[in-house]
Amino acid sequence: MVKHITKKKSAAHARQTPTNLSLQKNSFLHRALVLLTGWLVLLVSISFFVATYDSAHVKLTLLQIGSVVLLSLWGCLKITQRQNPFTRRTLLCLAPLLIYMGWMALSFLCFPYKLEAAEEFLRLWMYAGISGLIACEFTREDVQIITRFIVASAWICFGYGALQITNIWLPGVDLLPWHGFFGNRIFSTLANPNFFGAFIVLTSGIIGAEFLRTRKKSLLVLLGMGLLDLVFTESKGAWLAYAGMGVFAALTYAHCVSTAKKHLKKWTLAAIACLVVAAGAAGVYSVKRFQSVSFRTYTWLAALEMVKDSPLLGTGPGSFKIVYPAYRRPQIFYIENAHNNETAHAENEYLEQTATGGVIGLGLFLWLMSFLLIGAWKNMRRTSEPVTQYALLGYSAALTGLLLHSVVDISVHFASSGLLLAVFIGVLMALMLNNPPAENIEQKTPKYPHLLWVFRALTWLAVLSLVMYASATFYYVLRNIAVKTAGEWILFGLALVSFASVVLGIAYTYARIAKQTTRISVCALLLVSLLPCLFFWRIFLANHYYSLGVALVQMGQPRSSLGAFSDAIKLNPFLSEYRQYRANVFAMTLDPAKRFVPSLGDDDKPRTDFERAQDDFNFVLAHNPNHALLHHNLGQMYYALGMRQLGQAQTAPAQAILYQQLSKENLRQAKKYLEESLQLDPVNANTYVLLVQIALAEHDLEGAQTWVDRYYKGPDGVYEEEFLRKNRENPQMQILQAHIDRLRATFL
């Protein structure tokens, strides 16, 4: 009897082992895709790191590395299953997205300054990849897991937002170092109040739908907390978007969910009341902070000029920040009260879509959004399954809120909102496709088992090496952070825990897949994917060195900052901003000695600081010719060199003629770049001051007076008295005018 049972078990085990092994392999890969997507949404939403100049750069790094990992695992899953994810059925659903991406790629290829636009263009493809992955692979149950991650993100962000509100009346409750950065406007972990407002809008639609489905009171508390946070963001566009999303959700719920149809009038009236209250609040704060309204108006006018000049093809995705300065209205400089800030986006997503993708690009974008919303509406009415119905309601409402907020906001171009948009697109497509659970395919014995083990070992070794490199470099980053307060210690601990969790989680996933797979191609794909992960990690490190260099300059140690800027350029040679900062420092020091210093960017010959600055400035100018401050800095450098040579002509009589000639040429170059700067920024008083001083150095009193008069008159097209008064009352120009008057009296 015992013998018989043993044989039966053995036979069953022999029949089931391959299938169970296949199930384990396929289920782990699929489960990893879902969970890593959820963790990516959570981490990008809540991460905030203060060891980089752009403290939100960690969000971008997580997005970049996370996208590479997710798309690589998707490839591994399809190789394991021996399936093509792009069937006729999925391609029909993905068609609007694919056609839109194809047009944007064409527009990008026609843009001449690709280097500066490449990062944003690449990010666009990452978003499209994540949308495609979710659309093709995620089931209804997977969508529920993503929803839980979004709700968890909201708990953390809304909770910290409530703590920031408390800190207004009980200072010291918020221990983190950035509290009060925007006054009484809260921003949680989303970098600024407008981005936090967008996050509240995007997540509240999903939370509301989950409450309607589950009736959990905790979700109602979470909704209330988000609404309270929204008030304290003082984000007018977010209030209107929240109300508009509420109207859409209420009407959709009343028309598409059978249990709510009897309350159609009540839901409609409640939605309209919500919209009226939000519009009134937005109007009040628009009056209180009319500057933001003016800023957007002038930006939109300039963006419309861009559209007129390239109406069909546009200028290419990622190009707005490069092209826009040539169209920017001078009023923007008065409003911002700064000249080192470059507007990177149009403050209106539809205008930017038109400016960068042309009218055709805008049409394709609207087609994609309409396809998603109409498809969600139809499927809600068609299905009676509650989970699918409420998920469609929540995600379509969230997408509507994002589209409404994008009329006056740019958050969709940043990682936190951009990733959520990609997830919304993918989830709505997945729910429309109603993907069945993945089929499990029996794994065959590998053809070349010894070679497979070689690739497994290489994968494990590469993963271990990358973990060690990332850990060592991250330790160096943390070592340079001054940790003094309790809040800084909290951040320090959170950074360590988050970094270790992310790195070890990815390493474990890669190692397990390499161990389970019977295909060499899977290991090869994992190995290849580590290269872009390393590349994006080095970009993160470059941003740290850049921030270190900026800090040293601010501390009055410009010479010490050069090494940090050079390290940033080595790690990320594609971002011209690093070269511009280094060039500014060279222009500040202007060491005339010729030396060969590789750490300062010298490749094959000794150079002076002037030559180093000239090379860096020319690199930036070649890739970003409309950068007003760049032209100003070039003019300032030539002016400083020309004035130094003018002084040398007086102290070295034997070489006076040579120095005078060199000074004359450099001052001429300075005047050329400064005048080019005024074409892009006719407001910068420092540019006029330098031009006046050049004219005085050339003994041209009339020329100096002309520049003073031009500044007092104000830029063409500026008629607002509040702006022109700033010119007339500028103390620098008043001092120069008095000096010109004294010189004129002396000569007369």
DSSP string of 462-503? HHHHHHHHHHHHHHHHHHTS---SHHHHHHHHHHHHHHHHHH
Q: Is 159 exposed, middle or buried (0-12, 13-18, 19+ CB in 10 A)?
A: middle
Q: Is residue 565 in a domain?
A: no
Asked whether the beta carbons of 101 and 565 are under 8 A apart, the reply is no
Q: Is residue 387 in a domain?
A: yes
Please tell me the predicted confidence (pLDDT) of residue 443. Answer: 64
Residue after which a domain boundary falls, among 555, 573, 595: 555
Helix (H, G, I), strand (E, B) or coil at 279: helix
Q: Is residue 671 in a domain?
A: yes
Q: Is residue 439 in a domain?
A: no
Domain identity same for 616 and 674: yes
- Say how far apart CA 266 and CA 263 lie, in whole Å: 5
375 φ/ψ angles, rounded to the nearest 5 degrees: -60, -40
- Say how far apart CA 638 and CA 622 lie, in whole Å: 18
Domain identity same for 394 and 322: yes
384 φ/ψ angles, rounded to the nearest 5 degrees: -115, 5
Domain identity same for 498 and 406: no
Residue after which a domain boundary falls, among 413, 433, 453: 433
User: Locate tokens 């060195």: which residue?
Assistant: 545
Domain identity same for 79 and 93: no
Selection from 340, 345, 353 nearest residue 295 by Cα: 345
- Say how far apart CA 369 and CA 2 lie, in whole Å: 65
Domain identity same for 684 and 739: yes
Domain identity same for 401 and 507: no
Domain identity same for 72 and 99: no
Domain identity same for 19 and 121: no
* Intra-chain end-to-end CA distance of the chain, in Å: 128
Task: Dig out the tokens for 552 from the structure.
Answer: 């040293």
Task: Report the CATH number at residue 604.
Answer: 1.25.40.10
Helix (H, G, I), strand (E, B) or coil at 342: coil
Q: Is residue 223 in a domain?
A: yes
Q: Is residue 564 in a domain?
A: no
Please report how many Cα atoms fall inside a 13 Å half-sphere around the Cα of residue 400, on the Cβ side.
Answer: 25
pLDDT tens figures, 270-299 = 666 666 666 666 555 555 554 667 888 889
Domain identity same for 175 and 117: yes
Asked whether the beta carbons of 98 and 438 are under 8 A apart, the reply is no
Please, what is the angle between helix 349-382 and helix 88-109, to 10°?
180
Domain count along the chain: 3
Q: For the range 650-654, what are the long-range contacts, defined as Cβ-Cβ under 8 Å and sequence gap of 24 or more?
A: none
Please tell me the predicted confidence (pLDDT) of residue 5. Answer: 38
Residues of the chain with pLDDT under 70: 1-26, 49-55, 258-292, 341-342, 438-444, 747-748
Domain identity same for 129 and 14: no
Instruction: Identify the bridge partners of residue 607 per DSSP, sorted by sequence position.
Output: 595
Residue after which a domain boundary falls, among 555, 575, 595: 555
Alpha helices (H) in 341-480, listed in sequence order: 349-382, 386-405, 415-433, 449-479
Asked whether the beta carbons of 200 and 186 are under 8 A apart, the reply is no
191 φ/ψ angles, rounded to the nearest 5 degrees: 75, -40
Q: Supply the pTM of this predicted model.
A: 0.90
Domain identity same for 93 and 74: no
Task: Dig out the tokens for 266 from the structure.
Answer: 């009540």
Q: Is residue 571 in a domain?
A: no
Q: Is residue 438 in a domain?
A: no
Asked whether the beta carbons of 261 and 255 are under 8 A apart, the reply is yes
What torsion, rounded to 10 degrees, do the Cα atoms 505, 506, 509, 515 define?
-120
Domain identity same for 249 and 394: yes
Helix (H, G, I), strand (E, B) or coil at 607: strand
The boundaries of the domain holding residue 407 are 88-433
